[in-house]
Structure 1
Amino acid sequence: MSASSTPGHSRLTKAHKLSFAGVATLGAAALAFSLVPAGAAEGDTIPAAPVAWTQVVDGAQTKAVQQHLSAQLVVADKAAKDAAAKAKADAAAKAKAKAKADAEAAAKKAREQKEAASRSAARTPVFANNLDGWIKEALFIMKKENIPGSYAGIHRNIMRESSGNPMAINNWDINAQNGIPSKGLLQVIYPTFKAYHVKGTKFDQYDPVANIVAACNYAADRYGSMDNVNSAY
């Protein structure tokens, strides 16, 4: 059948439709960029209001920057807290190590003192509580103090002075008359005992060991040794 048209109507071809679409598009574009108000001179235009795209982009960028800064702050805060926690842990570890070292040092010192006391006790012999033991103990002390004298020399003088009685006292000689009687195994007067007393022995004229050591110390100073004394001295 051949194409026909109804009176008063025109049939649009495909070309016509495309043409109208192009015109509409161009018109919309023109309106978007410029408007000509009434009474405006030819060629005058008014820029169209900016599209909100720039505002959207700026807002998105600002939000992104804020989020980035916030994330950095969180990271920095966490790093600071981690550093503080590490410093605290390190300090606690150092304090614990120091306390342990101090405790070990104190324990070592206590052990050494105990061992030294034990060695000292082992080196110190036990002496009998009689004339033989007193002379031997006195000689043990005299050796450490570099005081000369022998067992024989000490024993000889003791037997002459007191007959081996540690409580012997002379109440009749000149010393007694002067108020300073001779006392003990080797008949030592108080001024002599006080001047020649050896530290570590009892400060007692009647103590047998203290008496022997002080007398031997005096004899060494005056005669060279108790071995050189053969009479009243």
Structure 2
Amino acid sequence: MSDYRIKSGDTLSSIAKRHNTDVGALMKANPNIKNADLIYADAKLTIPGSKDDFQAQGTGAKGPDLTGGSKPQQTEGSTGAQPVGDMPPGQVGDWIKQATDILKANGIPAEKMDPQAIAAIIQHESSGNPNAINNWDSNAQKGTPSIGLMQTIQPTFDAHKLPGHDNIRNPVDNIIAAVRYAVDRYGSVSNVPGVKNLQNGSGYVGY
């Protein structure tokens, strides 16, 4: 076996193909992966030498945690609140922490903005690229393409940004506006349809 550091834009299937294995073998080697569509840039992945090699070694060892930490925990002082997961690793996790700290200071409860749910949206919307822009969907055809880390359109960004955080391509500013939009529309980031689908084992859908 060997280790691999997940890069922005990677998928389990693309990693498996490059390393002459398959998604099933990768998930067995990394039992903390619960959803093949949900991995995070900068996390470490255990790569089996090949499908047969992995099966010969068995599945007793615990693989690295690609969900950014342990099981979801209750936030301090939030008895009965929705569980909130740990902060994801790497640069995306740093951006999420900065944004959620600012949002908490501006009155958004921590239980409404699970870092793992935010990271899932980022992974599927932009693969962690703060300069991503969608020039092909219906929003783009209307002249308002989805932009940035969480792929907000400019009118939505403008309606939900905070003072001093008005750059749609700034990753922290983009997260702030997108999370405020998600909380306003769905009640919490965890209630965004694409996140709920992933939790239920279904495919991600845009928000």
Q: When you count strand as a share of all residues, which structure comes out higher?
A: 2
Using structure 1 for the length normalisation, give the TM-score: 0.43
Instruction: Give TM-score scaled by structure 2 length.
Output: 0.49
Structure ID, larger Rg: 1
Structure showing the higher helix proportion among its residues: 1
Query: Which structure has more RCO (C-alpha within 8 Å, separation ≥ 6)?
Result: 2
